[in-house]
Structure 1
Amino acid sequence: MTVSENTQYVYTVQPSDTLYSIARRFGSTVAAIEQANSLYPPFTDPGSIFPGQLLIIPGGRFGFQNEVYYVASPSDTLFSIAQRFSVSTDLLFGINSQIADPNFIYSNQVIRVPAFIYEVSSGDSLSRISSQTGVSLEKIIRANERRAGFSPELLYLGYRLLMPLPASRNILVLHPLPGDVLQSGGLIQGMARAFEANVLYSILDTQGNVVSKEKSITARAAGPEYAEFSTNAQFELKPSTPTGELRVYTRSANDGSIQDLVRVKVRFEE
């Protein structure tokens, strides 16, 4: 699995744009944008872009590694962006402290989105990528609608796909990424809106064996704020299968039932 590990932007082409002007704006290059979006013959004429197309812009001047930012267009709302990435508006608002009002965003506002970028390798198909990562075909297709160069039937080598991160209304898992290797001592990280800041995790292999019993993680702040949480995975049992599932969730203060369950498909071996 090839994951692009630099800052990426999701940008809607405007009528006056050229690849050169977009590259200069985001500190990228024309060649990098063309590769990420398959903007080259025989798929399209060189440098050919159209208003309304969505582009992945690799590189960039702002943010941190592995983060994806969406540049709002005039027609966007926080709700429409949340829909694209299969998350609640609450969560999208909660991980963007710079947004004062969830009912108002402005054109060109830069919004962090719960996604990562998958770089297409030889032999990849959407169904294979979905199987490897556990991210449904429906979610992958929805995230990439209106993308330049995107076709559900045919992917080109080096094309960069928008992949939604696993989330519920109140929990977002940032690490491990879907399909990543998770070993004992490996990082578990995310953001949560949790009562008394208490987040829980457990790990199972695909046979249903408990690799890691339920353990608690304390987020940096309690709800109603969305706050970061992180810990290192602790395995009690050696996995009996090469793949499994990380589960991150909370429990009801009333009856102890599991709430806001997020499932992340993981591998245990390289």
Structure 2
Amino acid sequence: MTYIVQAGDTLYLIAQRFNTTVNAILALNTQITNPNLIFPGQVINIPSQTSFCPLLRQGDRGSSVTRLQYLLSFARYNPGPIDGIFGPRTQSALNAFQFSQKELERTGVADPATWAALAAECQPRSETITYVIRPGDTLFIVSVRYNVTVESILRVNPLITDPNILRVGQIINIPPSAKSH
């Protein structure tokens, strides 16, 4: 993906924002001869995400924000409309969630520890795994948590005849999540 450098940006800050490293950005941008010298308006390439759980903060947009909003909602923290826009209501819900978790620092940024506390799977998987249904689970909740589609879960679970009926303790298969959605 490409990114337009904003006033105040450094390669370090951009790398943090996109959950990558300065060296990975430099490898894709041979036109940058001095890593300490970038300019507002400059277009740079950003490495594609290798994690389904990127660092997210207010102002971010996209499918990862939508996923975060769903996970906050499932945890009973209302992020406002599920619209893929990390606005003030999502920020407030995230802060409240982080505050409720003793092990989390209240930063207002969805970082790896926050994603883990929300029970999100963050790394692509190339194999099918098993999952035990917990109280409150639906196929949709499980699909968001594991970054797969409900349809793909149904494909690898032919014994699920009614996707709206799950039993606590039921063991289901979760398909690979090798591609980001």
TM-score, normalised via structure 2 length:
0.38
Higher helix share: 2
Greater RCO (Cα-Cα under 8 Å, separation 6 or more): 2
Pick the structure with more strand per residue.
Answer: 1
